[in-house]
Structure 1
Amino acid sequence: CQGVAEAMFKVTGYVMHFAPIGVFAMIAYTVGSYGIAMLIPLGKLILSVAGATALFICVVALIASLFTGINFFHVIRALKDILFLAFSTASSEAALPGAMKRLEELGVPKTIVTFVMPTGYSFNLDGSTLYSSAGILFIAQLYGIQMPIEQQLLVMVTLMLSTKGIAGVPGAGIIVVAATAAAFNLPTEGVAILLGIDRLLDMIRTICNVCGNCMATVVVACWEKELNKATFNEKYRAFLGGKNG
């Protein structure tokens, strides 16, 4: 299994080398079809998703810190290279081995890591839901379609269910957006406009997915009394010392 996994990661690496060409082609298509002015609302969408993701991670980290006594901003700092890998590949699966190893280095038992992380990759996809929700609202606003608050809540619940299992597939979010837009009678043509920035939004949502699952794993370890503040701080200092060394 390890050999097959390494081979698949190698293939993924080859694909990612050609990803910038694909991103350029999608953005060129958007500009060529809808004009340079379309980049302004798309830029606003990117900033909105990035800001919402950063706010979400900070709020969750703060709540988790209060709940467990562990500084979860230290957890995020220890995971920064893993999160950068997730961002650059837009695939949670590519970051999974490194994230699991890093959590074990921070004191989380292997039994919890190997159970919670894969489970979270199927059921705890906060970033995918956030990204897809922003895409649906963007399409509605682009075509001047009013969505009352109860319909927005229904969209959120729908996306919470329909985004399960897509964490490891780059670009799968746009398929969910297209299906949800059709289900709520929104113009599916708007999905084509999102294609130009889908890769960038995919990178942002992947960071949220990986970070959320890593924090959830630490919370479960504390909940099961397999990790405490003193142990984490000791492992964290050892990690920093080894890294600096």
Structure 2
Amino acid sequence: MKKIGLAWQIFIGLVLGIAVGAIFFGSPQVATYLQPIGDIFLNLIKMIVVPIVISSIIVAVAGVGDIKQLGKIGGKTILYFEIITTLAIIVGLVAANLFQPGAGIEMDKLNKTDINSYVDTAENQESHSMVDTFVNIVPTNPIAAIAEGDMLAIIFFALVFGLGISAIGEKGKPVLAFFQGTADAMFYVTNQIMKFAPFGVFALIGVTVSKFGIESLIPLGKLVFSVYGTMLFFIIVVLGSVAKLVGFNIFTLIKTLKEELILAYSTASSETVLPKIMEKMENLGVPKHIASFVIPTGYSFNLDGSTLYQALAAVFIAQMYGIEMSIADQVSLMLVLMVTSKGIAGVPGVSFVVLLATLGTVGIPVEGLAFIAGIDRILDMARTAVNVVGNSLAAIVIAKWEGKFQRNSKPKSQTTEILNVN
């Protein structure tokens, strides 16, 4: 009998979770029994993310050992991220103006959800400038950055440490061998944890559907269809065009990432697939040093789905309140989002936090977020999947830009191969 693949197992878990959630809609027992299973799965993934990022970057950077080359890759990566996220904001604004999802909505018929839990974080974010983001990249205490999961600070420390190992030559080889062993061990652990993914997906989606039900989508159905339709357009047309420009097919990428996309979609967490997409991009032909740098950095600087949603949701709320936004207002919104959306990927409910920090600056009532908070999880699932595709494609684009992409090449995971590069 042919074994069912992991992608199908996760999909079956997703379907069964939706069915259980729909059958037991409104029952608190669903969350009581299923939430712990989902939380355990998410915690298992979070447990391995930081060790994998640190060890992979250190090994990759020590293998390259050229600070000029790394600086060039870093500059190209940030430039690419800024262009793509700006395009995502523009697509979100155009879609909001085209579909008018907030027009004609009767707010008295909508459920209002408490958003106070995000307010304090948003107030801190309002004073958070682009300069602050770059200053905070340099950690005063790398151990504290690791404990807090501050991804940008972790990446910076790993880059510096990897260059240091490369610079000291023979003395650094035992340290490099340790981190190569750590990376290999953690990828093995990742593959074992992924076997639990169907159960985690079943639990998380079951809890989501049992809490909100299908009925909660009906009043805001136009917003849901607008967000999902625009996300699909962005992946196929915008990211598809970028992929074609560098000689790659977006559908090949989607097929390669099918397991990770189902998992990211159903858990609404791109963190759950970070180790696997790094591994898959290496298997696809992206050099280790590029995949290890570009993908984790993209988790803070290249959240295409999130920025697209933030632009669309902001205009949606303005439409809901009958506020006319001029072209100048929308350009202002775009500029604010370009700053506020950077560097806070680790914050829970990141899109809500960004919107709370942004809406007031362009004269849109922040209270409007309370009306869409109830279905945010459904929208979060879509934007997470887009973030995964965007960051995976970014690694391919940078590898192609550097002339280092080798289709179907195998990742060099053997310690001896890396130790001999110096």
TM-score after normalising by structure 2:
0.47
1:148 matched residue in structure 2: 326
CA–CA separation in structure 2 for the residues paired with 1:101 and 1:148: 45
CA–CA separation in structure 2 for the residues paired with 1:178 and 1:4: 29
How far did 1:167 drift?
A: 3.7
Q: Is the 8 A contact 2:332 2:362 kept in 1?
A: no
2:36 counterpart of 1:5:
no
CA–CA separation in structure 2 for the residues paired with 1:71 and 1:39: 34
How many residue pairs end up in the alignment?
221
CA–CA separation in structure 2 for the residues paired with 1:43 and 1:214: 30
2:259 counterpart of 1:216:
no
Of residues 285, 296, 299, the one that matches 1:118 is: 296
How far did 1:117 drift?
A: 0.6
CA–CA separation in structure 2 for the residues paired with 1:171 and 1:148: 28
Write the letter of the residue equivalent to 1:206: T
Q: Is the 8 A contact 2:243 2:250 kept in 1?
A: yes
Q: Is the 8 A contact 1:50 1:204 kept in 2?
A: yes
1:242 matched residue in structure 2: none
Q: Is the 8 A contact 2:268 2:380 kept in 1?
A: yes
Measured against aligned partners, the alpha-carbon deviations of 1:166-206 in whole angstroms (never above 9, x if no partner) come to 44555221122122222222222211111111001111111
CA–CA separation in structure 1 for the residues paired with 2:358 and 2:200: 28
Measured against aligned partners, the alpha-carbon deviations of 1:46-96 in whole angstroms (never above 9, x if no partner) come to 111111111111123332233222223211211111111111111111110
- The secondary structure found in structure 2 opposite 1:195 is helix
Structure 1 residues 219 and 137, CA gap change in structure 2 (3 angstroms): same
1:65 matched residue in structure 2: 243
2:364 matched residue in structure 1: 186
1:171 matched residue in structure 2: 349
Alignment of 1:40-55 (within 5 A): 40-55=218-233
Q: Is the 8 A contact 2:243 2:397 kept in 1?
A: no
Write the letter of the residue equivalent to 2:356: A
- The secondary structure found in structure 2 opposite 1:204 is helix
Larger Rg: 2
Q: Is the 8 A contact 1:121 1:213 kept in 2?
A: yes
Q: Is the 8 A contact 1:120 1:213 kept in 2?
A: yes
Of residues 373, 377, 388, the one that matches 1:199 is: 377
How far did 1:40 drift?
A: 4.0
Q: Is the 8 A contact 1:167 1:209 kept in 2?
A: no
CA–CA separation in structure 2 for the residues paired with 1:90 and 1:3: 14
CA–CA separation in structure 2 for the residues paired with 1:177 and 1:22: 22
Write the letter of the residue equivalent to 1:190: G
Write the letter of the residue equivalent to 1:204: A
TM-score after normalising by structure 1:
0.79
CA–CA separation in structure 2 for the residues paired with 1:23 and 1:210: 23
2:140 counterpart of 1:97:
no
Write the letter of the residue equivalent to 1:145: I
Q: Is the 8 A contact 1:92 1:167 kept in 2?
A: no
- The secondary structure found in structure 2 opposite 1:194 is helix
Q: Is the 8 A contact 1:100 1:114 kept in 2?
A: yes
RMSD of aligned C-alpha atoms?
3.0
Identity %: 46
Structure 1 residues 23 and 154, CA gap change in structure 2 (3 angstroms): farther
CA–CA separation in structure 1 for the residues paired with 2:346 and 2:270: 5
CA–CA separation in structure 1 for the residues paired with 2:258 and 2:204: 24
How far did 1:160 drift?
A: 2.2
Structure 1 residues 205 and 168, CA gap change in structure 2 (3 angstroms): farther
CA–CA separation in structure 1 for the residues paired with 2:218 and 2:239: 32
Write the letter of the residue equivalent to 1:5: I
Q: Is the 8 A contact 2:268 2:377 kept in 1?
A: yes
CA–CA separation in structure 2 for the residues paired with 1:175 and 1:15: 26
Structure 1 residues 73 and 168, CA gap change in structure 2 (3 angstroms): farther
Structure 1 residues 96 and 107, CA gap change in structure 2 (3 angstroms): same
Deviates further, 166-175 or 106-115: 166-175
